[in-house]
Amino acid sequence: MSDSLSSTLFDAALRGMLIALLMLLAVVLGRDRPSLAAARAGVALTLGLCVQVVASTPTFEALVPRLWQAPLVAVSVGNAVLFWVFVQALFDDDFALRPVHGAAWVAVAVLAGFNCAVMAASAFVVTPITIGLQRGVPLLFAVLAAIAAASHWRSDLVEGRRRLRGFIVVTGIAYTVVMLLARLGSPQGRLSGMTATIDVLLLLLIVAVVAWRMLRLTGSDLFPSARVAALAQPRAEPASPPPPPPPDPADERLAEALQGLMTGARVYRTEDLTVASLAARLAVPEYRLRRLINQRLGHRNFNAFVNGFRLEEARAALADPARRELPVLTIALEAGFQSIGPFNRAFKAATGLTPTEFRREKLADS
């Protein structure tokens, strides 16, 4: 068997493995968590990557007319936007899909498809500009994805998800930069031979690690309020749950100390309160405090944990007839919020009402 044929078969095997893994991820995400933004973005990204794996095959790029390649190239370049959206949805429990995300994908896909079908073979003055924009898109959205993954890292209380953040930040940017440089140094921007095989091998390794880590995390660790689809099987009497393990005395003492700081000393009013600063007050390592708040108290995000105390104080103040003349802004600042905007958003998310509506409703009969 010639070296060329062996390389081609090896490349095809890698692409087949990668497509199979991506399809498995798409099925798992779409089956178990279809209503969550992270699951929908993940399914779209995995399917888009399947298209990219096919479209980046050297034989496909060399033999298929550019006009026919254009739709696949559009989807492939649009994956940069989907990666950014997926990272935001995965690491921000309050993320919601908005029209701007769809508009960004359409704009990038149209640019890439137009470049492939028309501009790549033309000598227009603007051709280098449009091609340059397309080359910069993956790097731009890789940086945006890295910023999104790193932005709430310190407040994330789910340890497995914190580690996944770091992996995505490092590998996402590294892969994008390496492949961008490889295409810039290749004839007509096409990967060929060993470079194309290295491309698919790197992507396979990254997807395999992400899939392994995601599938190892429980639904409640990875996604908020995930509903796992029930298997189609006869109903049976639920087994009695095993008795909970006895509480750790050290954790009991830490929980009591934490409760004292939050309700007695009201440290939630402190400006820029972080896990590190609160752990320092309690004289414990950060990981112990993070684990306690996540696993014992059931919170996934430190800011949400702190805001719960702030909102409780604000609700009490808004419902107090003796404080009816106190401005909402003053109440928000006293509770620990830094400005009225975040307070209004957090309050409405928690109660379904604006602070003014809540106060009006509570004080209607007083």
Buried b (16+ CB within 10 A) or exposed e, 125-141: eeeeebbeebeebbeeb
- d(Cα 357, Cα 348) in Å, to the nearest integer? 10
Same domain for 200 and 265?
no
Same domain for 254 and 177?
no
User: What is the chain's alpha carbon radius of gyration, rounded to the nearest angstrom?
Assistant: 26
> DSSP character for 326?
S
pLDDT digits (tens), the chain, 366 positions: 566 777 888 888 999 999 999 998 898 888 767 778 888 998 999 999 999 999 988 888 888 888 899 999 999 999 999 999 998 988 888 888 899 999 999 999 999 999 988 887 777 878 888 988 988 898 899 889 888 888 878 888 888 888 887 887 788 888 888 888 887 777 666 777 788 888 899 999 998 988 887 777 655 566 665 443 333 333 344 445 455 556 678 888 999 999 999 999 999 999 889 999 999 999 999 999 999 999 888 888 899 999 999 999 999 999 999 998 899 999 999 999 999 999 999 999 899 999 999 999 988 876
Buried b (16+ CB within 10 A) or exposed e, 11-42: beebbebbbebbeebbebbbeebeebbbbbbb
Neighbours of 330 (CB within 10 A): 11
Q: Are 73 and 113 in contact (CB under 8 A)?
A: yes
What CATH number did the domain enclosing 258 receive?
1.10.10.60
Same domain for 191 and 332?
no
Q: For residue 202, give the 3-state DSSP assignment.
A: helix
What CATH number did the domain enclosing 103 receive?
1.20.1070.10
Q: Are 300 and 223 in contact (CB under 8 A)?
A: no
Same domain for 91 and 190?
yes
Same domain for 289 and 203?
no
Does residue 236 form part of some domain? no
Q: Are 192 and 248 in contact (CB under 8 A)?
A: no
> DSSP character for 353?
S
Number of domains in the chain: 2
Q: What is the pLDDT of residues 324-360, one digit of tens each?
A: 889 999 999 999 999 999 999 999 989 999 999 999 9
Q: For residue 156, give the 3-state DSSP assignment.
A: strand
Same domain for 208 and 256?
no
Does residue 227 form part of some domain? no
Does residue 15 form part of some domain? yes
- In the chain the first and final C-alpha atoms are separated, in Å, by 90
Burial class, 243, CB count within 10 angstroms (exposed 0-12 / middle 13-18 / buried 19+): exposed
Where in the sequence is the domain holding 102, given as residue range(s)? 3-222
Same domain for 30 and 179?
yes
Q: For residue 213, give the 3-state DSSP assignment.
A: helix
